[in-house]
Each structure stands twice: as structure tokens, then as C-alpha cells.
Structure 1
Amino acid sequence: MNTISRRGILAAGAAVLACVHLPRTASAKEAAPLNLRATSRVLDIDGRAASVWGLAGPNGQGLTLDPGTRFRVDLRNELDARTLIHWHGQIPPNAQDGVPDMPMPMLAPGESRAYDFAPLPGTYWMHAHVPLHEMRLLAAPLIIRSAEDISSDRQEVVMFLHDFSFKTPEEVMAEILGGHGMAADHGSGHGAEPAGMAAMDHGAMMGMGAMGDMNGMAMDLNDYDWDAYLANDRTLSDPEVVQVERGGRIRLRVINAAAATVFWIETGQAPARLVAVDGHAVQPLAGNRFGLAMGQRLDLEIDLPPEGGAWPILALREGARERTGLILATQGAEVRRLDTMAETAAPAFDTDLAQETHLTAADPLPDRPVERRHMVMLGGSMQPYVWTIDGAVWGRHRPLAATSKERVVLSFHNMSMMGHPMHLHGHVFQVVGLNGRAVRGALRDTVYVPPMSMVDVALDAGEAARWMLHCHHMPHLETGMMTEFAVSA
């Protein structure tokens, strides 16, 4: 292996990478709102220029707020297309949630809109709520720091993950709809021999393509082969190198902003503790490999050894060999080049819900009787490429009804052969059931439901309004996999 280029260090001040080092935080005393611009930018993807979109704050991509600071933002659309931004995992007033026409229209080119609400602390993100726009990387970190973050002696690092194509999102969707977006073995159900559940644990390594469930049915993974996989806008051929201290503690905030890729986060020789998911604390869980689906976030605490060195933090594409990541390195340490392809394929993510089973909320919902239940059926197929909730696509959907302040349980039952990360707007929910077994699981806003599985979540219905509920796999969303959680007064 050769020592990699240090262009990453030289360019660390560039706006496009500012999210890695956390932009200068906004003071609670600042009266003026922050400016956030939906704009275009150019990335260097393995030596090739790529025109993408982004969300530029005062100090680069994304926003970071200090404890007690209101989310006071003026959003301006500098693109040549109408768009709108959603504050993923936050609970603003419904009119500020950022879903087109629910109830506010999209922003026209040159138009601005003001936002003002009290944000939840933790690791969040913001993205266009137009699937094809998110596929153009119109997204960025949104970090709301807590008092503990301020007082703790630790370095904060953000790893923002994307999948990327040099083709337009419209071309990508045309290939997917035509069944031409995959490698020979990907997702077709004809790639790998069906495997039993015994082969589907976290340690099982599989070839690219289909896995099997307990009935020998083919499980579909990775329905599109992207040109690159990015961590903080860079590939592993020239990753970001973050300078760290010997023996220091790191709070690594990992955000999966990919359109259609599940990742495993592997810390290698730097043992980690998972301390939060989707912005909410969990009972610490030790390990060096944790997975997250699209829309989800992980907070990892890493204690570095007292001696100097370099520690790659890798994001492994589910069911495949591609990988991306960044490198933590002490001053003067030798940083070696890493191949963008691993020697073996990573396993499928959480097909047995083993990771979710081990997560316990640090501050669970209070116990109270359940007043309403909904079974939410997730369905669809690769050909024709159509994905549904309760048998219907958006526009033909039947809203899920609730009354404000009711305790509601949603039971996501996935009857398809792809996993679905299900995201509910305007609410925090707790995972309370996994394949029929009661758990006191994590608080989340996005839960992954594997094929032929059922996940129950409990929540207290919030503001009386129409709140979107959808799969966070962008091609699934683009083809209609969304409904609404309709809360009445």
C-alpha cells in the first residue's frame, strides 16, 4: 500500500468539507437568523468533476447549533428548479416540515422562506423532500449540540455518507425501472444460492446478490450499482484525513444520506461504543461494526490508544465489496492508501434484527395504555418496479388516522423481498416489538424493516396535521412508497 495524497488536509478548510470538522456554532445570543442556501457545487470524484447540489450554511455544508439555540434559518433556493428542504428527525410545526404541498408549496428559484422552531439535540440532517433532488446530493448534516457535548472532553467528527452516479437521477430511475441498474448478481434473485437463516447472522459473509429467507425465497439487495460511494463528499481513494490527539476520545456522528445504500460502519482497530441512534441516546453497546440504513444515524464513542497512528473508519456497502470512509490520524502518522474494494463482501444488514434487538433507549417513552393500533403492510416487487404501503402507492393511499396525544402503535409488516427504512415525520417513536417479541428498544425516527419481518413502534400522536410516512429508499419513494399519518385534534 502507498501513502495517500494529503490533498484532504490541504483542502480541509474548503466549504464543501466543512461539515467534517463541525462549522462554527451559532451563539444563543445571535438574533439574526442563519442563512442556508440550496445551491450547486462541483466535487472531485476520483479525478472527475461532478456537478451536484448542496446546502451551504455560513461555514460550509450543513449547520451546527449550540445548546438552547433556536433553529432560526432563512432558506434560499439558488437552484434553477423548485425544491423544498425537510429537517429530518426534527419536530417543527407542520407548516415548517418541508414536504411539498403538505401544506407549503416548494420554493421557486430565487425564493426564500424563514424557519423558526426549538430543535431536538443530537445528530440530524436535512435534505430535499423531492427524491430526485436528494439523489443529486441536496442534503447536509444538521448537528444540534447538547450541554454534555459542550462540557465533554472529546473531539466531534461527522461522517456523511452518500451514493453517487455521474448520470442524472432521471437516467438512474429509467435504468432501475427498466431492470438495468444492477450488476449481473444484484437483486435479481438469481445471483446467489438461497441461504437459510443460519447463514444470515452478522458474521456471515455472502457474495454480491440475493440472500434467502427461512423459506428459501430470494432476498433483493442493492437494486442499483452507483458510480461512487462518498464519505464527506470523497471516495476512499482520497479520503478525508481528520487529525486527532493521542489517547483522545472521539464522538463520531455517522449519517446515512445515501439514496439507496445500506452501510456497515467498521472501526477496525479502534473499538467503539454505540451511544445514540437517530439523535437519541441508547444504553452503550460495545463493538467495532454497526449498521445503518438510509435516513438513520449512529453516534459512536471511540477511545484512541495513547500511541500515535492512523485508524480508518470504513463504511461497507451491504452485500457487496464497495466501501468508503475517512481516516483518524495523529500528527505525523503514516496514512496508507486503502482500496475502494474490500477483499470480501459485507453481509446483508440486520436480516434477523439482531442489532435492533440489542438497542435499549436511555430515556424510553413513559408507559401508558395503547389507544390505537395500525398494521402497516409494506409490499412491492423488482419487476414491475412498484413499492406500496397497504397495497397502494401515494395518491391512492389510505391515511393512517390518529387523534392528538393518543398512544399509537404502528406495526410495520414487510411482505416484500427488500428491506425498507420507514421514516415518520413530526414524531419520535420507540421500537417496542421485533417479529412479535416485545422489546424496550431505541427511540428513533427511521426504523429498518427487513424482508419478511415485522417491527412495532409506539408513539404519542403530535400536532393535528398531515404527517408523511414513507420508505427512505429514494427509488422506492419516487415510485410511490409513502402514505400519511393523519392526526386530528
Structure 2
Amino acid sequence: MPIKPHSTYLYKFPIVQHGTHWYHSHSGLQEQIGMYGAFIMNKRKEWDIPTLPVVLSDWIDMNPKEVNRSLHNQTDWFGIRKNTTQSYWEAVRSGHVKTKFTNEWKRMTAMDVSDVAYDKFLINGKNQNEQPQFKAGDKVRLRIANGGASSYFWLTYSGGKITVVATDGNDVQPVQVDRLLIAVSETYDVVVTIPKK
């Protein structure tokens, strides 16, 4: 049941898992106005390095009700903003006019995976995030969650390799990567070393 404004409700349940997770509201369109965040459950014995939660998300300045209305009415507004609309002439020229008609009959515009043209992409609710407490040589565990509604994020690190140590709340054999694609709702724990300037 929804928790009424200015009130609290205490949930009690046994913790049998650990790791990086995230939460979001399922009431109305609250998630689209920022009702989400990191949900981290520590093991009894964690790594002895600093940990930093990082929630990635997408944001649009438009009222979520208007976004929802636009999506249900199959307007091309977001496609126009993202320059991803397909004209009938383009469909004819590329030999996909039948597909275009079929998709329009199904009310599927050309842009069906990431339908919204977002105004911003956020890190912990802000458009940038500085952490001046870390110094060159420090190792930091980033607990990353993709709280975006429909955006995938490529994670890269200008300081070198990223060491993946957990995914979706489960520890994994550490593996080093140059970059990491994080899909909607996925979480990754990565370890990075702060480089010298």
C-alpha cells in the first residue's frame, strides 16, 4: 500500500541477499519525477576500500503526464526532437514502406526502444558529480545502478581499466574491461584507481 505523505511505515523482512540494488516508486508517475535511489545491502565483511553509490538516470523537463499522453497518442514529437523520424519517402527509398505501414498500424513509431527525448542525464540526481575527497592512487568501489526509464549508458573511465566485481547484486570473478554497457535496471560494482594528474 502507498505510504501517506508525512508518514512512515516500517517494513521488517529477513535479509538473505546482499549487494547493490536500487528502488523506485510504482505509484502513478512518481518514478519519472525522481522517486528512486540506491539500495545497498552490505555483507558482514566488506572490502576495506571507500564505496560510492552512483545512480544513473534520464530526465525530461516535461510533465510526466504529458509524456505519457504523447506516447499513448503516438505523436512524433520526441522523434522530431531526436531527429529520428522516418518519412514515407525515406521508407519507399529504402524499401521498407510495408514495414512503416505495419508499424503505424500497430501504433509503433520508428523510435520504439527509447521513445522519449530526454533533456538531461543525471548522476545521483545531478548533471555532474565531483568527489574531491579521493586522491591519486586511491581505490574506490563504485556501486552503479541504472535507474533510467529507457536509457542505456556506456561507462568508461579515463583513468584506465574498470574492474567489474559484482553485477545485479551478485559477486563475480573480477574482470577488467575498457568500457561497460549498463542497461535499464542493471547494477554493477566496479573498482577504479584514481589516476595521477
TM-score scaled to structure 2, two decimals?
0.77
Higher relative CO (Cα under 8 Å, sequence separation at least 6) belongs to 2
Structure 1 contact 135–164 (Cα < 8 Å) conserved? yes
From 268, 273, 291, the equivalent of 2:181 is 291
Q: Are 1:241 and 2:130 matched, yes or no?
A: yes
Alpha-carbon offset, residue 157 of structure 1: 1.4
**What percent identity do the matched residue pairs reach?**
25
Structure 1 contact 123–297 (Cα < 8 Å) conserved? yes
* Letter of the 1:163 counterpart: D
Q: Are 1:230 and 2:122 matched, yes or no?
A: yes
Alpha-carbon offset, residue 114 of structure 1: 1.6
The structure with more strand, counted as a fraction of residues: 1
* Letter of the 1:115 counterpart: Y
CA gap of 1:249–1:110, structure 2 versus 1, over 3 A, is closer
Count of residue pairs brought into register by the alignment: 174
From 159, 166, 171, the equivalent of 1:276 is 166
Structure 1 contact 153–249 (Cα < 8 Å) conserved? no
Alpha-carbon offset, residue 219 of structure 1: 7.5
The structure with more helix, counted as a fraction of residues: 2
CA gap of 1:272–1:122, structure 2 versus 1, over 3 A, is same
Q: 1:165 corresponds to which residue?
A: 60
Alpha-carbon offset, residue 173 of structure 1: 1.1
Q: 1:177 corresponds to which residue?
A: 72
* Alpha-carbon separation, structure 1, partners of 2:124 and 2:50: 17
Structure 1 unmatched runs, 5+? 1-104, 195-217, 310-489
CA gap of 1:164–1:173, structure 2 versus 1, over 3 A, is same
* Alpha-carbon separation, structure 2, partners of 1:272 and 1:184: 31
Structure 2 unmatched runs, 5+? 95-109
Q: Are 1:107 and 2:3 matched, yes or no?
A: yes
Equivalent residues in 2 for 1:300-339, closer than 5 Å:
300-305=190-195, 308-309=196-197
* Alpha-carbon separation, structure 2, partners of 1:131 and 1:169: 10
Q: CA RMSD in A?
A: 2.6
From 139, 144, 160, the equivalent of 2:41 is 144
CA deviations on 1:304-351 (whole Å, 9 max, x unpaired) are 34xx33xxxxxxxxxxxxxxxxxxxxxxxxxxxxxxxxxxxxxxxxxx
* Alpha-carbon separation, structure 2, partners of 1:161 and 1:131: 21
Q: 1:427 corresponds to which residue?
A: none
* Letter of the 2:64 counterpart: P
CA gap of 1:248–1:184, structure 2 versus 1, over 3 A, is closer
